[in-house]
Amino acid sequence: MKKYLLLTGVIVAFHCAYSQCDFSGQVPRYTLIEGFTSCSAPPCGVGDLNLQNVLTQNDAQGGKYTLIKYQMNWPGTGDPYYTLEGAARRNFYDVTIIPWLHVDGSGEDEILFTNNQLVDYQSILSCVEVKGSFSVEDKTVNAIIHITPTVDINESNDLRLFIAIVEKETHGNTCSSGQNTFVQVMKKFMPDTDGIELGNLTENQAIIKEQTWEFKGDYFMPYPGYIINHDIEHSVENFDNLEVVAWVQNIATKEVYNSCTATKGTSNISTNNLVAVELFPNPVTDELYISNTQQVKNITIVNMTGQTVIEALGTGDKTMVISTQYLPSGIFFVTLKNNEGVQITKKLVKK
């Protein structure tokens, strides 16, 4: 089976390999599968069908994976749902053939990909837990993603969080590949394909990131050569059919540490936002002030050995004050939880 190679308009058969990185840890891995496909390439129909069969097998074994598909603009007129953000991911991986997969950052042949290979990826435990929730109100998508490392990760600005909105099924982009349905089609990154810098991560210190995207204008079916302009239009066929996926990735090594498919909620995610909570002074002496605590249900402070040293209930006030005069000098972790069960952990230093 030939694949399509994009090389100055010339189509030839091509194959390459990409080695998998091992970054072991303590939490289950939800393997990220990124597919590059097009409705104008008949081999993509073969590859996508094979992948569907693989995922059906994997679902019976627990289905610990996250799937996102990027529609490409070749061969011929390409796929009408091609976007510049999809092109950015193609360039990120230097993808030149379709159908093609990147699995946790490693290149794989979609036509030859097997469930055994997927299970091998899933069997490597991760050192980062990624969870998320989202809501869709009219044409606005709100997402909140929780990242909890189980070890210290010191990778400067190379570690990024990527968040993308996908449409679980599309039908408007059928053409010559023989497919009448495409799945997990990427519609928009939040905020963009550069991702969100995470910096260095501290063991067991949770990070929460929230993003919102409003699709502008009306639905528009792009014609050959035209690319959706997100400032004035969108290509979402059904807003009830949207989903949010997220993953943590090292952009230097391309290694994906973990991913998730966010859980859909019924309320505005922003009501769960604890990102604005701040501790001061830090380092602290006798009194710790915690700001923006209107939605905090309870507060727990633990020491480096995991022992709880202070517990307090939220008051509903904008600022809370906790006495720390009897705490010994050292490092502590402050966990704040709201009524929805969302929590965030912050590092505290006592002088």
pLDDT tens for 197-250 read: 998 888 878 888 888 999 999 999 998 889 999 999 999 999 999 999 999 999
Cα–Cα distance for residue pair 88/304, rounded to 1 Å: 42
Q: What is the dihedral of CA 220, 221, 225, 231, to 10 degrees?
A: 20
Query: Which of residues 44 and 178 earns the better pLDDT score?
Result: 44
Give the mean model confidence (pLDDT) for residues 269-288: 76
Phi and psi angles of residue 174, each rounded to the nearest 5 degrees, phi first:
-80, 140
Predicted confidence at residue 294, as pLDDT, reads: 85
Q: Tell me the percentage of the chain whose pLDDT exceeds 90.
A: 64
Instruction: Count Cβ atoms below 10 Å from residue 242 Cβ, excluding itself.
Output: 20
Strand 128-137 relative to strand 263-264: parallel, antiparallel, unpaired?
Answer: parallel
For residue 178, name the pLDDT band (cuts at 50, 70, 90). Answer: confident
Predicted confidence at residue 3, as pLDDT, reads: 57
Residue ranges matching CATH 2.60.40.10 in the chain: 4-270
Q: One-letter amino acid identity for 343?
A: Q
In the DSSP assignment, the letter for residue 23 is: -
Would you call the peptide bond into 191 cis, given omega within 30 degrees of 0 as the criterion? yes
For residue 5, name the pLDDT band (cuts at 50, 70, 90). Answer: low
For residue 12, name the pLDDT band (cuts at 50, 70, 90). Answer: very low
Two structure tokens written together for 165 = 């909105």
Q: Which position has the token pair 């990147």?
A: 102
CATH number of 4-270: 2.60.40.10
Two structure tokens written together for 1 = 């089976």
Cα–Cα distance for residue pair 300/92, rounded to 1 Å: 41
Determine the angle formed by the axes of helices 42-59 and 115-122, rounding to 10 degrees. Answer: 60
8 A C-beta contact, residue 153 and residue 200: yes
Residue ranges matching CATH 2.60.40.1930 in the chain: 274-350
Cα–Cα distance for residue pair 266/191, rounded to 1 Å: 22
Q: Which CATH superfamily is domain 274-350 in?
A: Macroglobulin (MG2) domain (2.60.40.1930)
Predicted confidence at residue 4, as pLDDT, reads: 59
Rg of the Cα atoms in the chain: 22
Two structure tokens written together for 126 = 């991760």
**pLDDT tens digits along 110-163:** 999 999 999 999 999 999 999 988 889 899 999 989 898 988 888 878 999 999
Predicted confidence at residue 155, as pLDDT, reads: 80
